[in-house]
Amino acid sequence: EPGHPFARNRTLDRLLRLRRGPIAIGGDGTTLDVARGSGMRPPFPVRHGPVCRFVVDLADPDGASLLVAGGQSGNPLSPHYADSVPGWVSGEAWNVPFTRRAVEERAAGTLRLAPAR
């Protein structure tokens, strides 16, 4: 079953709001916005589709755009768990900085990992 593995537990699913939807989307197995479903009668439940849409012009790498299904985090306690859902549904991509300068200008924070001593 698609979704967060903890969503199989109904209590955790309700408590943490792991499932988002159902969400109506377009596309089928022959479109650029591919989506595969099952069933012969509408609505056709989608069972799988793209999790990421990434467009980059190599002449302008800082102009790249990205859509991520769900969110930036797999942690349901994070504010980024489902922050990409509205943009995914509307088809609105967000700009992804690529060069070091552009990344540093747009960074919300920095996480530095160091080995234990």
Nearest to 46 by CA among 86, 3, 76, 4: 3
Range in 24-28, 58-62, 94-98 with the lowest mean pLDDT: 24-28
Considering the entire predicted model, what is its pTM?
Answer: 0.63
Each residue's pLDDT tens digit, 7-54: 889 999 889 888 877 777 777 767 777 777 666 666 667 767 777 888
